Amino acid sequence: MKSNQLTISELNRNRRTAGFIDRLIKNVLLSLFENIEHGELTIVDGDAVYQFGKRSAAFDCHARITVLDSRFWGDIGLGGTIGAGEAYMQNLWECDDLTDLVRILVRNRDVLDRMDSGLSRLTRPVNKLIHLLRRNSRDGSRKNIAAHYDLGNDMFSLFLDETMMYSCGIFESPTATLKQASEAKLDRICQKLELGPDDHVVEIGTGWGGFAIHAARHYGCRVTTTTISRAQYDYASERVKAAGLEDRITLLLQDYRDLEGTYDKLVSIEMIEAVGPNFMDTYFEKCSSLLKPDGAMLLQAITIADQRYEEAKRSVDFIQKYIFPGGFIPSVTAMSDSITRRTDLRLFHLEDIGPHYATTLGRWREQFFHNIEQVRALGYPESFIRMWEFYLCYTEGGFAERAIGTVHMLLTKPANRSASIIPKLERPVAETPRAARRLHSV
C-alpha cells in the first residue's frame, strides 16, 4: 500500500512539474507571437483569448487556434513545427484555417525561425539521427519509398484525379479541374521535349503510370519507365494493359542507378526529392549517361530557396519525419552545380510553376475530405487523417508564400540543336476562395 501511495504521489508531482513547464513555455511562446506583424493570429486557451498581428488589404490572412490540451504548449516549445504537427495529430489543438496559419508563420519568418531554433534545438539531434538512418542507398530508397507510396493505392485514388498524377498540375483557368490541370502539365512536358513517334523516352519515377500512358497515347512515343514501389508497379501495369499500350510502354521495377541503355529523351517528375543531397551527383550523372549525344531531359522538381538550402540540409521538418522519410528538397543552384560538376548537360530553359502547386494541394485536400468516410472505411485512424491534413495544409501554405517552388528544368546534351518552342506559361490561377479552404470537420 505504501509503495502504491508513493507511486501516486510521484505521478501527481510529475503532472505538476509538466504543468509548470507547459505554463512557462506558453509564456515564452506568447511573447514570441507578439512579433507577428503580417496577418492575424488568434489563440483561444480556455477562457483566455490572445490576439496577435493585424490583417491588411495586402495580406488578409487570419487563423484561429483553439487549445484543447495544455500539452500543446510544451509540444510546440520543445518540438517547433514538428511538435506542432505531432500535437495536431494527437488532437491537442484545432485551427479554423491551417493553410492560413502556415502562411502567417512563413510571412513572419523571424517568428517561425525562432520557434524552430529555441528549446526545440534540444530535439533536433534525435530527429536528425532518425533522418540520417533513412539514407537513400538502394535498400534505403526502397524502404523510404514503400513507407509513403505503399500506403495503399485506394487511399491515393480518393484524392488524386483520374490520371493519378501526384505532382503539381498547371491550371490554365480558375475553373480547370484537377484532371485538366494534370493533363495540361503532361502536355507541357511533352511539348517542351517535342516528343513524337520516333522518340524512346526513359522515365525515372513511374508513379502510377500517368506520364507514360499520356505520352504514349497522345504523342506516339515509346516509354521505358521505372519505379521501386511494388504497389505502384502493379497498379501501373494494370493501367497500361487496360489502355492497350503494352507495345509502347515497358515497366521496370528497378532502381534508377541500375538502368542501362541510351534514350532520346528523359523525364523525371518530382522524383529527385527522394534522391537526397548525398546522391544528387549520382542521379544527374546517371541521367546524362542514359541520353544520346543529342538527347534532352525534362526535370520537374520541388525546390527550396537557394538562401535556405544549407540550413535545410542541417535540419529535419515534419514532412521528412512523417510523410516522406529520406526526402529532401533541393535548390535550383544546388541542382545546377551538380549538373555542371558531373555531366555535360546544359540548362536550356527554366520555369517555375510553383504557384500552381498551392491550388493543386488545395484541390487534393478538398477531394480527401469529400471522400473522408471512404478513407475511414479503409481503416486509417484519426491520427493519420489529421497527419495528412496537416501535411497538405503545411505544403499548400508553403507554396502559396513561395517558401518552396516547383520548376521545370529542360536540359540538353551538347549535340542537341532542337528549335524547341517553349509554350507560354499561363498566369497562375487566383487563390482558392477562403471559404473553400476552411478545414473540414474530422
CATH number, residue 430: 3.40.50.150
Do 90 and 164 fall within a single domain? no
> Is 243 part of any domain?
yes
Q: How far apart are CA 229 and CA 150, in angstroms?
A: 7
> Is 333 part of any domain?
yes
Q: How far apart are CA 17 and CA 52, in angstroms?
A: 28
> What's the whole-number mean pLDDT along residues 75-82?
92
**pLDDT tops 80 at residue 121:** no
Alpha carbon of 210 to those of 138, 217, 235: distances in Å?
24, 11, 11
> What's the whole-number mean pLDDT along residues 241-263?
97
> Which pLDDT does position 246 carry in this prediction?
98
Q: How confident is the model at residue 53 (pLDDT cuts 50, 70, 90)?
A: very high
> Is 442 part of any domain?
no
> Which pLDDT does position 442 carry in this prediction?
38
> What's the whole-number mean pLDDT along residues 129-148?
55
Q: In angstroms, how far is the first alpha carbon of the chain from the final one?
A: 44
**pLDDT tops 50 at residue 435:** no
Q: How confident is the model at residue 351 (pLDDT cuts 50, 70, 90)?
A: very high
Among 76, 104, 122, identify where a domain stops. 122
**pLDDT tops 60 at residue 94:** yes
Q: What is the CATH number of the domain that holds 75?
A: 3.30.1050
N residues, the chain:
442
More confident residue, 122 or 66: 66
**pLDDT tops 90 at residue 1:** no
Do 144 and 286 fall within a single domain? yes
Do 291 and 309 fall within a single domain? yes
Do 309 and 162 fall within a single domain? yes
> Is 303 part of any domain?
yes
> Which pLDDT does position 90 carry in this prediction?
97
Up-side HSE of residue 192: CA atoms within 13 Å toward CB?
Answer: 27
> What's the whole-number mean pLDDT along residues 320-340?
92
Range from 108-112, 325-329, 343-347, 373-377 carrying the lowest mean pLDDT: 325-329
Among 92, 122, 152, identify where a domain stops. 122
> What's the whole-number mean pLDDT along residues 90-113?
97
Q: How confident is the model at residue 355 (pLDDT cuts 50, 70, 90)?
A: very high
Among 94, 122, 150, identify where a domain stops. 122
Q: How confident is the model at residue 398 (pLDDT cuts 50, 70, 90)?
A: very high
Residue with cell 510502354: 249
> Which pLDDT does position 429 carry in this prediction?
47
Q: How far apart are CA 70 and CA 420, in angstroms?
A: 59
Q: How confident is the model at residue 395 (pLDDT cuts 50, 70, 90)?
A: very high
Do 272 and 297 fall within a single domain? yes
Do 231 and 161 fall within a single domain? yes
Q: How confident is the model at residue 436 (pLDDT cuts 50, 70, 90)?
A: very low
Q: Could you tell me the residue range of the domain that residue 432 belongs to?
A: 132-437
> Which pLDDT does position 441 carry in this prediction?
38
**pLDDT tops 90 at residue 62:** yes
What's the mean per-residue pLDDT of the chain? 88
Q: In total, how many domains does the chain have?
A: 2
The secondary structure of 12-69 as a DSSP string is HHHHHHHHHHHHHHHHHHHHHHTT--SEEEEEEETTEEEEEEE--SS---EEEEEESS
Do 171 and 205 fall within a single domain? yes
> Which pLDDT does position 309 carry in this prediction?
93
**pLDDT tops 60 at residue 101:** yes
Do 113 and 211 fall within a single domain? no
Do 301 and 212 fall within a single domain? yes
The 3-class secondary structure across 354-399, one letter per residue, is CHHHHHHHHHHHHHHHHCHHHHHHCCCCHHHHHHHHHHHHHHHHHH
Highest-scoring range by mean pLDDT, 34-43, 107-116, 147-156? 34-43
User: β-pairing, 249-253 with 263-269?
Assistant: unpaired
Do 136 and 80 fall within a single domain? no
